[in-house]
Structure 1
């Protein structure tokens, strides 16, 4: 069971049945994977092309391009919902210690400087990997203590890119 916010509209999706259930109603669709990030969808006799533009597992957010239009999707699983119900925030307000490379790649942009104050979701770096540009964002609030890379540097998965104070 997941809840997701798409364009400020809340949806509940349950994948436990054979077909997904959307807001309590069966959701019938044909889904065909075209590439690792691109899908063709048929729903109610309408055709859609969906592409996963960016995926951030830490923030549980996805940017989808559906028929050429970008959509920001925020996911919450049953554990997030339980914490929210109990009045406990997840890592949303957590201070961050450092930003590590999620995959090997090339640094093509740095959007912050030492001493900058950042908040959760602020854009920090652009990492090119597998011919795709990935925006690396702050997982929490903090102050930039040091930047350990420069534009044009090749980085390895797990390498510390930015330290926070």
Structure 2
């Protein structure tokens, strides 16, 4: 059983390519990431301009036209179907109150640069103090609450740039 790859070109054309399809290309290396390719008796000059091996993203110049090519192997495809993002980073832009409570302390100011896990604020709720840490590196864009203010569940507390 041969593996099938999804090749996306310039983010708008997707082609399924099997290992057998890839093997049918007649390619001759000219050195320095340059190749002479023969496909169905049609010659092509190909050059790999940029390669991000980890992201499986390449910029390829074929007959003086550049193409951005993304390659997804069967595992990448399965991960995407399951709804997971490979190598995704956290991009939390706001912190909201998970429960009603009272703002006991605010440890940041608007414009302040924070690192992931820096203390942001303390919310008193159900006779407990809940410390909120920064979910990511960033800059505080807005503080929507003040000390000693009562807040409702889901209310915006802090916003990041």
Q: TM-score, normalised by structure 2?
A: 0.50
Give the structure with higher Rg (CA). 2
